[in-house]
Amino acid sequence: MTMSERQKALAGLPYDISDPELAAQRAAVRRALQAHNQSVALEEDGPTQALRDLLGAMGRNVFIETPFHCAYGVNLFLGDNVYINSGCAILDCGKVEIGDGSMFGPAVQIYTAVHPLDPVERAKGTETAEAITIGQNVWVGGAAVLCPGVILGDNAVVGAGSVVVKDVAPNAVVVGNPAKVVRRLTG
């Protein structure tokens, strides 16, 4: 059986970013995000129905400030009590799982897309994607960047402006570019 380009992306295989199905999904996302980002009822109601319908899963008591951006939406899975501050962008070409109670400061960037280093390959319009998993009760400070394939363990803290290129252990506090452990949390 032949895999779709979306299936290839989720499997971490090279896929064609200009595939019509993927292009249609990105267009649908832009429409849903426009509705969400222009909504004036967010204070009372939380995420708009357009955004709820877009995502792979959204738990209870999720709040996503505007503006918010994602690539596909269907690859984004949010647990309960998740808070995403304004200006966050999630390039969910691969799966992104965010655990219960996790919080994100303004302008956090989450990238699953991996472009070829070779310029000839890059010009062909293919890329791969690496899933990102964020545990429970994780706090990611403003303007931090999570690079493809990273796993953030439960209770991890990522300092503002940090660039995470490697997994972060549970209960670790990381800061810097690249992010390094500066403290371990207890209890």
What does the pLDDT look like over 8-36, one tens digit per residue?
A: 999 999 999 999 999 999 999 999 899 88
- Provide the residue ranges of all domains of the chain, joining segments of one domain with +: 5-184
Q: What is the CATH number of domain 5-184?
A: 2.160.10.10
The three-point CA angle 136-105-52 to 5° equals 65
Q: Is 115 a catalytic residue?
A: yes
- pLDDT tens string 174-183: 999 999 999 9
CA distances from 84 to 4, 19, 138, 142, 149 (A): 31, 30, 12, 10, 20
Query: Choosing from 30, 31, 60, 115, which is the catalytic residue?
Result: 115
Mean pLDDT of the residues in the chain? 94
Q: Where are the alpha helices (DSSP H) in the chain?
A: 5-10, 20-37, 42-45, 49-54, 119-123
Give the pLDDT band of residue 47 (cuts 50, 70, 90).
low
At 53 the pLDDT is 87
Token readout for 25 is 């999904």
Give the predicted TM-score (pTM) of the model: 0.94
d(CA 102, CA 79): 8
**CA–CA separation, 2 vs 162, rounded Å?**
40
Instruction: Please work out, in degrees rounded to the nearest 5, the angle formed at the alpha carbon of residue 77 by the alpha carbons of 113 and 65.
Output: 90
